[in-house]
């Protein structure tokens, strides 16, 4: 079973804390907005979103930084994902 995001939405999967430590990325928490590193699982087609042309900039497999409270959490076939808008993705880490 697959999730096909609409418009400018992106399905991401949080990278586990252990993995995070191994890769050397440690995210600081703040009261208002907690950033998270995640892997891109599926990318919407972009196109006209709210009357504006959106070009997708991330691709499947990218590691991205986003905000913890951005998006909506879903669990499909036992795995938890988050669906965010591309504009909620801050940066790609390499």
SS3 at position 58: coil
C-alpha to C-alpha distance for 13 and 16, rounded to whole angstroms = 9
C-alpha to C-alpha distance for 36 and 32, rounded to whole angstroms = 13
- Shorter beta-carbon distance to its own copies: residue 4 or 17: 4
Of 64-83, binders to its own copies (CB under 8 A) are 65, 67, 69, 72-78, 80, 83
- Shorter beta-carbon distance to its own copies: residue 13 or 58: 58
C-alpha to C-alpha distance for 58 and 33, rounded to whole angstroms = 22
User: Where on the chain is the footprint of its own copies (CB under 8 A)?
Assistant: 1-7, 9, 11, 23-28, 30, 32-33, 35, 42, 44, 48, 50-55, 57-58, 65, 67, 69, 72-78, 80, 83, 86-87, 89-94
């Amino acid at each position: 079973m697959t999730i096909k995001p609409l418009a400018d939405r992106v399905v991401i999967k949080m990278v586990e804390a252990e993995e995070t430590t191994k890769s050397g990325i440690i995210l600081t928490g703040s009261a208002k907005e907690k950033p998270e590193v995640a892997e891109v699982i599926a990318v919407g087609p972009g196109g006209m979103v709210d009357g504006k042309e959106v070009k997708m900039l991330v691709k499947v497999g990218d590691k991205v930084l986003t905000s913890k409270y951005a998006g909506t959490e879903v669990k499909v076939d036992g795995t938890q994902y988050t669906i965010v808008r591309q504009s909620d993705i801050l940066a790609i880490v390499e």
